[in-house]
Chains A and B, each alone.
Chain A
């Protein structure tokens, strides 16, 4: 089955700096890669996603890149703000896999003033 590894497990940045979280996946059939943000005590919420026919996608301060050959995808947050502090999860799934999302282990991002 699919296995998703995520690094780092914790990340501390100064406000205004950039943050990068990296994930690798094992199943080359995976074709959908969402990123979720989970604030303390809340539900995971989608912040951005990318499909395998696209190499990069941006939404304001957030971008995701995908390297299918290397089976890597990354989340980039620029101009970080204190409200970006949360746990971020990457995930992977593929058509025909029962729509199952396999999650990475999460990254605790702390944005310090």
Chain B
């Protein structure tokens, strides 16, 4: 059973399009996150939700909008995609300050 699953795994799209990435965790964790990993492998947090409430919103363009319909799901919607948005996006979850379990990543390529 996959603990944290995100879809799609690959996403190729044109500049200006809008796209969504979905994430689900079956671990019963109370906190979910979105991380961005750029071409240099830097892992940077974008958002964090605790029990469906937004608790961390790093300096991310407002073209990125997370949505958490329930504590097991955290989706990421991106409007007006730009070339610089190309990266691998990881969803993760944790129970409090503890091990973060990562999804398999979504490789977004904007052309």
Measured CB to CB, the residues of A under 8 A from B are 31-32, 34, 38, 42-46, 49, 87, 89, 93-95, 97-103, 105-106
B86 at the interface (CB under 8 A from A): no
Given contacts A89-B43, A93-B97, is CB(A99)–CB(B102) below 8 Å?
no
Give the contact stretch, choosing among B20-28, B48-56, B65-73, B77-85: B48-56
Main secondary structure on B side of the interface with A: strand
Q: List 29 A-B contacts (CB under 8 A).
A: A31-B97, A32-B98, A43-B102, A43-B103, A44-B43, A44-B90, A44-B102, A46-B99, A46-B101, A49-B99, A87-B41, A89-B43, A94-B97, A95-B96, A95-B97, A98-B48, A98-B50, A98-B55, A99-B31, A99-B50, A99-B96, A99-B97, A100-B33, A100-B56, A101-B33, A105-B41, A106-B41, A106-B42, A106-B43
Residue of chain A at shortest CB distance from B29: A99
Once the chains bind, are A103 and B42 in contact (CB under 8 Å)?
A: yes
Distance in Å: Cβ of A30 to nearest Cβ of chain B: 10
Question: Contact: B56 with A98, CB < 8 Å?
Answer: yes
If A32-B97, A44-B102, A46-B100 touch, whether A101 touches B45 (CB-CB below 8 Å) is: yes
Closest to A51 in B: B97
Q: Which of A31, A94, A103 contacts B43 (CB 8 A)?
A: A103
Chain A residues whose C-beta falls within 8 Å of the C-beta of B97 in the assembled complex: 31-32, 93-95, 97, 99
